[in-house]
Structure 1
Amino acid sequence: MTGSDTPDQPVPQAGTAIALMERLAEQLGSRASVSAVFGEPVTSGGITVIPVAEVAFGFAGGAGPEAADTGTGGGGVGARPRGYIEIKDGTATYKPLRAPWVNVAVPLAALLAGTVMPLLVRRLAQRRPR
C-alpha cells in the first residue's frame, strides 16, 4: 500500500483524547469530595465529627473515523455515606453507617437459623437408613 492508496481522512490524535480525559478527570475529581457532598467536619462540645463517604466518578468518550466526527463523551459522579470519624478526648473512632434493616434482619436470620437447623438435622437423621 502506498501513500496514494490511503484516504484523505484526518486521524484522531491520541494525545488530544488523552489530554481531554485527563482534564475531565481532574475537574470531576476536584468536585467529587466528601466535603462537597456532606459538608465540613463539625466540632461541638469537645467532639469532632468528620463525615466519611465513598465517592466515585466515571467518564467515557470516543470519536469515529469520519471527518465530521468531533467526538462525544459523558461522565458522572456519585457519593454514598459510609460513616463518620468521631474524635473525642484525643481518640479517633470510626463509626460505620448501616442500613436500619440490618439491625433487624441479622438477628432475625440468626434466630431463624438457630430454630430451623436442629429440626432439619433431626429430620435428616430420621431418614437416614440404618
Structure 2
Amino acid sequence: MANLTVDLANILTSTGVKASYGDPVELEGTTIIPVASSWFGFGGGQGLEDDESDSAMNGGGGGGASVPLGAYVKQGDSLEFQPNPIVLLCVAVPFVWVAGRAVARIVRALKR
C-alpha cells in the first residue's frame, strides 16, 4: 500500500500543471492556452480482523474532477484571458439567487 501512495503522489505532482493548463494550440498566428481547475482525492482503509474471518476487509478509491475556466489567448504582443461563459453562469446563478433572497428579506423587513 505504501508503494501505491508514493506512485500516486509522483504521478499527480508531475501532471498537476498539465491538468490545469492544457497544451498550447497554435491557430492562424494565435496561441490558445486552455485553463482549468483540477483536483484529486484518494483514500483507503482497513477493517478490523476478527477471529471468525480469515481475511481482513480492505478498500480504497479515488477520483478527480476538472472544470474548464477559460483560455489565455495571445495575438501578437497582447495576452488576454477569455473566460468560459458556462462556468460564469454556473457561478452567477447561485449568487443571483442568494442576492435576490437577501433583497427580498430586506424589503420585507422595511415594510414592517
Q: TM-score, normalised by structure 1?
A: 0.52
* Bigger CA radius of gyration: 1
Conserved 8 A contact 1:60-1:74: yes
Q: Does 1:21 align with 2:5?
A: yes
Name the structure with the higher strand share: 2
- Matched residues, percent identical? 34
| Shift >6 Å, 4+ stretches | none
Q: Which stretches in structure 1 are left out of the alignment for 5+ residues?
A: 1-16
Please give the alpha-carbon distance, in whole angstroms, between the structure 1 residues aligned to 2:61 and 2:69: 26
TM-superposed deviation, 1:63: 1.3
Deviations 1:92-115 (A, max 9, x none): 21111122884xx88xx7xxx8xx
Q: Shift of residue 88 of structure 1? A: 1.4
For the residues of structure 2 that align with 1:100 and 1:80, how far apart are their CA atoms?
8
RMSD: 3.7
The alignment covers a number of residue pairs equal to 95
Gaps of 5+ in 2: none
Compute the TM-score of the two structures, normalised by the length of structure 2.
0.59
Residue 81 to residue 43, structure 1, CA distance change in 2 (3 Å): same
Distance 1:28 1:71 in 2: 23
